[in-house]
């Protein structure tokens, strides 16, 4: 069985045009490394899939919560369609095994892979929409993405990590977290930061990111896990 057919079987999908599914799985780096391949990478499908996904999730939240205001629904939607959630969904459906990547990208299993997986899932949604229509895309999103709503609510994933860690820390230990830059490197246009989050004198965790804000959020996310507060 070819890989595309295997993925179709795994997801209970049958594409009229398997090439569009293959395109959804093709990262730009693969074509850069294989210039003779007559195919396109998945960025256009990702662009489309992002919009389709957001519309489906927005509509589902609108129908499910007639009492919720725009701000609350926006936070819930963000928690369902952010790159972390989408990469986890992509991992759950085994998308990683079918991606076409350059040798260098294939070796990188860090944060860059998270974005590649999230983008590939969006591209897949775009491919389903083009090949089988909006209703099929809607069914896919409800089956694999919207199903995580209960997790989002129970773990308060709709709150940003810094706000949630501060709330938990103040409630549980009556301490307000403090953040401190531990290390930074790189040129101005491509800096990386490591930030530590402290409760009093205790260094709870460190987070890394391309900005102080991103590193703080990563530190807070890790701190919530470290303390078992999620």
Q: Give the start-to-end residue ranges of the domains of the chain.
A: 3-154, 161-227
SS3 (DSSP) at 90: helix
Contacting residues for 41 by C-beta, under 8 A, at least 6 apart: 23, 26, 27, 28, 30, 31
Active site annotation includes 91: no
Each residue's pLDDT tens digit, 168-206: 999 999 999 999 999 999 988 888 999 999 999 999 999
Each residue's pLDDT tens digit, 133-169: 999 999 999 999 999 999 888 877 788 889 889 989 9
- Reply yes or no on whether the pLDDT at 103 is more than 90: no
Positions at the binding site for Mg(2+) = 46, 119, 122
Of the residues 8, 17, 50, 188, only one is catalytic, namely: 50
Active site annotation includes 171: no
What's this model's pTM, rounded to 2 decimal places? Answer: 0.75
Give the CATH superfamily of 3-154: Ribonuclease III domain (1.10.1520.10)
Which DSSP symbol is given to 26?
B
CATH of 161-227 among 3.30.160.20, 3.40.50.300, 1.10.3720.10, 3.40.50.150: 3.30.160.20
Percent of the chain with pLDDT over 70: 98
Task: Please state, rounded to an integer, the average pLDDT across all residues of the chain.
Answer: 91
Task: Say how far apart CA 9 and CA 26 lie, in whole Å.
Answer: 19
Task: Say how far apart CA 130 and CA 148 lie, in whole Å.
Answer: 25
pLDDT at residue 164, rounded to an integer: 85
Q: Quick one: average pLDDT of 59-73?
A: 94
- Reply yes or no on whether the pLDDT at 111 is more than 80: no
Task: Say how far apart CA 49 and CA 28 lie, in whole Å.
Answer: 17
Contacting residues for 131 by C-beta, under 8 A, at least 6 apart: 15, 16, 17, 20, 21
């Amino acid at each position: 069985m070819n890989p595309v057919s295997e993925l179709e079987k795994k997801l209970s999908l049958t594409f009229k045009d398997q090439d569009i599914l293959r395109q959804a799985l093709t990262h730009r780096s693969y074509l850069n490394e294989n210039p003779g391949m007559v195919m396109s990478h998945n960025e256009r499908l990702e662009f489309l899939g992002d919009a389709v996904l957001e519309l489906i999730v927005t509509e589902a939240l609108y129908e499910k919560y007639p009492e919720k205001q725009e701000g609350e629904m926006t936070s819930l939607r963000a928690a369902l369609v952010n790159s972390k959630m989408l990469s986890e969904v992509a991992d759950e459906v085994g998308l990683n095994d079918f991606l076409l990547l350059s040798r260098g990208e294939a070796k990188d299993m860090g944060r860059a892979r998270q974005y590649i997986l999230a983008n590939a899932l969006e591209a897949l949604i775009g491919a389903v929409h083009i090949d089988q229509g909006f209703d099929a895309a809607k069914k896919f999103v409800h089956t694999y993405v919207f199903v995580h709503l209960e997790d989002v609510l129970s773990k308060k994933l709709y709150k940003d990590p810094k706000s949630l860690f501060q709330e938990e820390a103040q409630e549980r230990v009556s301490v307000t977290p403090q953040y401190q830059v531990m290390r930074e490197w790189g040129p101005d246009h491509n800096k990386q930061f490591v930030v530590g989050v402290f409760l009093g004198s205790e260094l709870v965790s460190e987070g890394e990111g391309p900005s102080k804000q991103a590193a703080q959020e990563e530190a807070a996310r890790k701190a919530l896990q470290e303390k078992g507060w999620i």
